[in-house]
Amino acid sequence: MNGVPVTVWFDRPEISPHSAEDIVSINEMCDYLEGLVAQEWNNHGIPADRIIVGKNCVFYFAAWR
């Protein structure tokens, strides 16, 4: 929350259903996940269509992007 380390994938200004999403940190999280998938392909030959990403909201946003 506002840069304080927490166990979420992206930053939030506050915990509230009315709080705006921090698109910059969400995009950073997606870039990070894409890098992890690319690393598995490059280092181990595992194709992206064989990799499962947990946390449905993260997966759906990354796929939609």
Q: Calculate the average pLDDT of the chain.
A: 75
Model confidence pLDDT, tens digit, residues 17-47: 787 777 787 788 788 888 988 999 999 999 8
Whether residue 14 lies inside any domain: the answer is no
Alpha-carbon gap, residue 45 to 9, rounded angstroms? 26
CB 65 within 8 A of CB 30: yes
Q: How many CB atoms lie within 10 A of CB 62?
A: 20
pLDDT at 18: 81
Task: Note down the domain range covering 30.
Answer: 23-64
User: Rounded to whole angstroms, how far apart are CA atoms 60 and 53?
Assistant: 10
Number of domains in the chain: 1
